[in-house]
Structure 1
Amino acid sequence: MSAPTDGNLFRQLDLKHPLIVAPMAGGPSSVELVAAASAAGALGAMGAAYSNAAAIEAFADQVRQRTERPFSINLFIPHSIPEVAADRFEHAVAATAQYRQELELPSPQLEAPYEEDFDAQFDAVLRVKPACFSFVFGLLSADHVREAKKAGIPLIGTATTLEEARTLEDSGVDAIVLQGFEAGGHRGIFDAAAADPEIGVRDLLAQCVGTIRVPLIAAGGIMTSGDIRSVLQAGAQAVQMGTAFLACAEAGTSTPYRGKLLETSERRTRTTRAFSGRFARGIENRFMDEMDGEPDAILSFPAQNKFTRDMRGASTAKGSPDFLSLWSGTGRGELWQGSAAALIKRLFED
C-alpha cells in the first residue's frame, strides 16, 4: 500500500474526529495519552524527538497494547551545526552558574552529539510503521520520503509560512500542519536562526487554502469546539491541539508544569530561545525572563537544549517551575483535568 496522494489521508485513517492530539516531546505525550486519544477517535501522536530507536519501538509497542486504533510518530528534522566554540560555552556557563548553584548541580559538560541520531530514529519508525509520520523544522530528505512511501506511511510536514507549505507540498507530503504563531512549544520554522514570521493560524489558512492542494491541519490557539468549527469552516480539514490536553489525566505533564498551567486561565506566554536555542512558546517564568536579556549566552539549537537539560530536570525534581520549559499556546480558558476521551467528546459533541 502506498501513501495517499489524492487528499484522502483522513478518510484512510478512518478517524472519528478530525483531530490530532499534538506530539509533545519531553513527557506530556505519554503512552497513556497517545493511546487514549487514538482510542477516542482522534489521532494520538508520539513526540519522539528526544527518544532513541529502542525507546520509539518500546513506546509504540505499549500504545498498541492499549489500542488498535491508528497513531502517529513525530521527529525533528536535523540540521548540521558547528561545534560550540569554547568562548561561547564559557559565556553560557557563567550566565547560568547561579541557577546551577541554586539547583545544587555541578558545572555542566557539553559534548556533541547534541541530539539523537535521526537516521536511527527514522529506521525505527519504518519498523514500527505508524499510521502517519510527522515532522517539524524543515523537509524530509528525498531518500527518507521514498522509504516512507515504500513502507506505506503517510507524511505530515509542518509549515509556518505559505512558502514553507509550498516547499513541503513539492517534496511529497500527504498533509501539512499550518502552525500559527499562537501555538505552544517549538515553532516549526525551517531555519533555526531566522526571525519568526509571526503569522497567526487564520491568516496562514487564508494564504494556503486554494493554493496548497494537500489537506491542511490548523494548529495554534485552538481550545474550544468553536475554535475547531471556525478553522474547519475556513478550509482546514483537521486541527492539531496540544495545550488543551496538557492537564488531562493521561498526560505525562510534570507536577510543577501542571501546577503552573492551572494557576490561572489567563496564561501569559511568549516565544523564547532560552531553553533550546530555537523559538518556542511557553508560559513566562524566571529562566525565560532573565535569559532573554542575555541572548549572547544562549547557544544554538540543539546544543542549548542539551545544555539546559540538567536544570530542567533538577527544577522538576524540586517541584519548581522556575527553570522549566512550560510550553503552552495562547488559548485562554480553564484546562480540562478529566480524561482525554471526555475532552474529545466534549469538543465534538455538537
Structure 2
Amino acid sequence: MTNTLEALTVPLIQAPMAGGPSNAALAVAVSQAGGLGMLAAGYKTVEAMAAEIDDVRAGTLNFGVNLFVPESDPSDPGRLAAYAAALASMALELGLAAPEPGPFSDDHYAAKVDYLVANPVPLVSFTFGLPSADDVARLRSVGTEIVLNATDPEEISAADALNPDAIVVQGAEAGGHRATHGQAKEPSESSTHELVTLAREYTDKPVIAAGGVTGADIAQNHFDAGASAVQVGTLFLTAEEAGTKEAQKDALLSGQYRDTVVTRAFSGRAARALSNRFTERMAAVQVVGYPQVHYMTAPLRAASADNPEGLNLWAGTGFAACQLRPAAEIVDEFRSL
C-alpha cells in the first residue's frame, strides 16, 4: 500500500461526493477517526477548492482531493435541445423559464491540477476518465499519491498503465455517478466483488473496493478477494457532519423509498439514485449529455430543494443501512478489519 493509505488505522476511504456532501467537516471527521477523508472538487472553482483544503488542513494532515476529468465524449446538440424541450412542462409547474441546453465546462480541471502541483496534498484521485501521464508525473513530483477509478476490466487495464498508487474498482451497486471513462459508455453491470476478483488479472496495484459497502462483513469479503481497502459513500450521506441536503437525508432515512435506479435524467451521465417522480417522469426521454444536462436541470433542482421528488437523491443499493450518526461511528464499524 502507499504511504497515505498505510497511515490509515482503518482501511476505509470516504467517497468524494460532489455537490455538497463531502465537505471539510466530513473529511476531517473521517480522517481523525482513522480512515481517509476525501474532498470533492467537482463543481467548485479553484478558489473554493483551495479554501476547503485549508479548512481540512486545520484538522488533519491525511486526506485526499478528487478531480473530475473533462468529458471526452461530446454531447449531441440535437438531443440536448430535445431534452430541454421535454423539461419545459416541469419547469412551468415550478414557475421557471423553459430550460435551455447548459454550457460545456471542463470544471476548471487544468487550473485545479496547477493549484495542486503548487500546493501539494497527500493524495489526488480522478473520476470520469484518466488524467494524462504528464498530470500524473507533475503531481507525483511534489509527493502526491495518485488513485484512479475504473468500472470494468478494460478501464482497470488503462488505469494500471499510468502506474497509479491504487485503483478504485467501482461496482454496479455504487450510488451517484458511475466513474465510467466517457459519458456515452453504458455502465458495467459487474458487482463490486466481481470487479475486485477480476482486477487481480489486470493489475498488481492495490485495489480499493467501492459500491455497496455497508458493513465490515461485506468489506471482509472484498478483502478476501484481493482488495486492500474499501471506499464508502452512501453511509456517509447521513453522517452528522456531511453537507448533504436535508431533503435527501430525510428521504434516505424515511423508509418511504424502496428502489434505486440508474438514470441520466439529472446530469446526462449515468448515476444511481432513489427512484422518484423526476426519474420516472424523465426516464423515457433522458439523454447522454454531461455536463450540459447537469446545468440544464440545476434550476429545477434548486426550486425543488425541499421536495425530494424533484431532487437527485444519489444513493447506492445499500441505502437502507443509512443512519443519522457521527462519521466516526461509521468508521468504527470497519475498525476490526
What TM-score comes out, normalization by structure 1 length? 0.91
**After the TM superposition, which residues 235-254 of structure 1 pair with which residues of structure 2 at under 5 Å, given as runs?**
235-254=226-245
Quote the Cα distance in structure 1 between the aligned partners of 2:256 and 2:207. Answer: 29
CA gap 1:114/1:211 in 2 versus in 1, 3 angstroms: closer
| Range moving further from structure 2, 226-235 or 263-272 | 263-272
- The equivalent residue for 1:205 is 196
Query: Is the 2:301–2:310 Cα contact (8 Å) retained in structure 1?
Result: yes
Q: What is the deviation of 1:185? A: 0.8
* Runs of 5+ unmatched residues, structure 2: none
* Runs of 5+ unmatched residues, structure 1: 1-7
- The equivalent residue for 1:303 is 292
- The equivalent residue for 1:145 is 136
Quote the Cα distance in structure 2 between the aligned partners of 1:234 and 1:142. Answer: 29
CA gap 1:150/1:292 in 2 versus in 1, 3 angstroms: same
RMSD: 1.9
1:75 to 55, 58, 67: 67
Quote the Cα distance in structure 2 between the aligned partners of 1:130 and 1:302. Answer: 27
Query: Is the 1:135–1:156 Cα contact (8 Å) retained in structure 2?
Result: yes
Quote the Cα distance in structure 1 between the aligned partners of 2:152 and 2:87. Answer: 34
- The equivalent residue for 2:45 is 52
- The equivalent residue for 1:4 is none
Amino acid across the alignment from 1:50:
Y
2:316 to 316, 319, 329: 329
2:2 to 9, 19, 31: 9
Quote the Cα distance in structure 1 between the aligned partners of 2:246 and 2:298. Answer: 17
- The equivalent residue for 2:87 is 96
- The equivalent residue for 1:339 is 326
Quote the Cα distance in structure 1 between the aligned partners of 2:320 and 2:80. Answer: 40
**Between Structure 1 and Structure 2, how many residues are aligned?**
337
| Range moving further from structure 2, 164-173 or 258-267 | 258-267
Quote the Cα distance in structure 1 between the aligned partners of 2:231 and 2:183. Answer: 22
CA gap 1:145/1:321 in 2 versus in 1, 3 angstroms: same
Query: Is the 1:180–1:202 Cα contact (8 Å) retained in structure 2?
Result: yes
**Secondary structure, in 3 states, of the residue corresponding to 2:334?**
helix
Residue 159 (structure 2) pairs with residue 181 (structure 1): no
CA gap 1:19/1:101 in 2 versus in 1, 3 angstroms: same
CA gap 1:10/1:284 in 2 versus in 1, 3 angstroms: farther
Runs of 4+ in 1 over 6 A off after TM superposition: none
| Range moving further from structure 2, 212-221 or 100-109 | 100-109
Q: What is the deviation of 1:241? A: 0.3
**Secondary structure, in 3 states, of the residue corresponding to 2:333?**
helix
CA gap 1:245/1:180 in 2 versus in 1, 3 angstroms: same
Q: What is the deviation of 1:265? A: 8.5
> For residues 74-132 of structure 1, what are the alpha-carbon distances to aligned partners after superposition, in whole Å with 9 as ceiling and x for unaligned?
111112455763x5444223211122122222233445343422101212222332211
1:27 to 20, 24, 29: 20
Quote the Cα distance in structure 2 between the aligned partners of 1:83 and 1:263. Answer: 36
Residue 11 (structure 2) pairs with residue 18 (structure 1): yes
Quote the Cα distance in structure 2 between the aligned partners of 1:156 and 1:101. Answer: 43
Quote the Cα distance in structure 2 between the aligned partners of 1:158 and 1:145. Answer: 14
**Secondary structure, in 3 states, of the residue corresponding to 1:135?**
strand
Query: Is the 2:214–2:321 Cα contact (8 Å) retained in structure 1?
Result: no
Quote the Cα distance in structure 2 between the aligned partners of 1:141 and 1:135. Answer: 11
**After the TM superposition, which residues 188-227 of structure 1 pair with which residues of structure 2 at under 5 Å, given as runs?**
188-227=179-218
What TM-score comes out, normalization by structure 2 length? 0.94
Quote the Cα distance in structure 2 between the aligned partners of 1:240 and 1:227. Answer: 12
Amino acid across the alignment from 2:123:
C
**What is the percent sequence identity of the aligned residues?**
36
Query: Is the 2:80–2:293 Cα contact (8 Å) retained in structure 1?
Result: no
- The equivalent residue for 1:3 is none
Amino acid across the alignment from 2:184:
A
